[in-house]
Structure 1
Amino acid sequence: MTATVSDEISSAVLGVPAALPAEAAAHFAARLAFEADVSDVHADLASGVSGVVVVDTRSEVAWDQGRIPGAVHIPTARIAELAPRLIDPALTVVTYCWGPGCNGATRAALAFARLGYRVKEMLGGFEYWVREGFAYDCATGTEQRPVDDLTAPRSGISCAC
């Protein structure tokens, strides 16, 4: 079946026309300059990529409940105070908070950017790290939950998107 344009049915999608290809390319390239997903962050951490530091921006209680292994803990309100002492400005900072319903990682990314750091926000936050079946550290050790098949393949193998 070939997709064609038809004027017969009103479209909710096309009510606002899609951007021109060059504008769309610029938009999506810009988004990727500001965002990373949990699978890509996990892949970089697992392979030991240098140049990236992951920062958990949540409270101490949240940190104790669970965190990404290797992450640095700097609550958003303390970034201006602690980042210059804890984070090499040559590194790209990846911020995360609870999940997609929380904009704490966005606020933290803004705080790092204002301090002159290169920064990306990890989409999905800690919630999607756990839901994709990646191990996490907590006050009692390391834990891992089964993959939520609404967020990642059941096999645990990357979706390769």
Structure 2
Amino acid sequence: MTRTFAVPAATPAVAAAHFLARLAVETDVSDVHADLEAGTNGLVVVDSRGAAAWDQGHLPGAVHLPTADVAARAARLVPAGSRVVTYCWGPGCNGATRAALEFARLGYAVKEMLGGYEYWVREGLPVVTPTGLTHRPVDDLTVPRAAITCDC
């Protein structure tokens, strides 16, 4: 008996709809980095963590807006019509999911950045810390050491 297909796979049409729906609400670290580097117009990256986490380090150009404050403060910090990407600590935290839900309820086009701050740092991408812009070494469990993307 196969464990992988003990529950039969969805039909190709159901699978395609599922994966398309996921891609409509999720993005990844390397795509966000590429868009920030390209200066993609209308993109606002929102760090939904608390003040101590923000102060420890955050993505360059990110807006600090903790999840609990999104409903009350988004309109002042994020221009209407912006395309928003939320992030929190990492895969073990759902703060970015909750923040994305609040942005969607407010009418913003929004996606959650998979992997969050953890994978941004693990991929060796730049972060702003109290000492300035810095990079940590690439974790070769996330991307090849000589690249900033998994090339998928």
Superposition TM-score tier, normalisation by shorter sequence: over 0.9
| Distance verdict in 2 for CA 1:157–1:58, change over 3 Å | closer
Conservation of the 8 A alpha-carbon contact between 1:137 and 1:143 = yes
Conservation of the 8 A alpha-carbon contact between 1:133 and 1:156 = no
1:86 corresponds, among 71, 77, 86, to: 77
Paired residue for 2:138?
147
Residues paired across the two proteins, number: 152
Paired residue for 2:62?
71
In the alignment, the residues of structure 2 paired with residue 104 and residue 158 of structure 1 have an alpha-carbon distance, to the nearest angstrom, of 24
Q: Secondary structure at the match of 1:119?
A: strand
In the TM superposition, residue 114 of structure 1 has moved relative to its aligned partner by 1.1
In the alignment, the residues of structure 2 paired with residue 14 and residue 94 of structure 1 have an alpha-carbon distance, to the nearest angstrom, of 34
Conservation of the 8 A alpha-carbon contact between 2:87 and 2:113 = yes
Does residue 120 of the first structure (1) align with residue 114 of the second (2)?
no
Post-superposition CA distance 1:34-72 (Å, at most 9, x none): 000000000000111112110000111100101000000
In the TM superposition, residue 27 of structure 1 has moved relative to its aligned partner by 0.6
TM-score (norm 1): 0.92
Structure 1 portions without partners, runs of 5+: 1-9
In the alignment, the residues of structure 2 paired with residue 28 and residue 76 of structure 1 have an alpha-carbon distance, to the nearest angstrom, of 26
In the alignment, the residues of structure 1 paired with residue 96 and residue 148 of structure 2 have an alpha-carbon distance, to the nearest angstrom, of 26
Paired residue for 1:21?
12
Structure 2 portions without partners, runs of 5+: none
Q: Secondary structure at the match of 1:11?
A: coil
Conservation of the 8 A alpha-carbon contact between 2:88 and 2:95 = yes
Q: Secondary structure at the match of 1:89?
A: coil
Q: Secondary structure at the match of 1:128?
A: helix
In the TM superposition, residue 156 of structure 1 has moved relative to its aligned partner by 2.2
1:46 corresponds, among 33, 37, 40, to: 37
1:78 maps to amino acid: D
In the TM superposition, residue 158 of structure 1 has moved relative to its aligned partner by 2.1
1:32 maps to amino acid: L
Q: Percent identity?
A: 66
TM-score (norm 2): 0.97
Q: Which portions of structure 1, spanning 4 or more consecutive aligned residues, are displaced by more than 4 angstroms?
A: none
Paired residue for 2:88?
97
Paired residue for 1:6?
none
Report which of the two structures shows the higher radius of gyration computed on alpha carbons: 1
Conservation of the 8 A alpha-carbon contact between 1:109 and 1:119 = yes
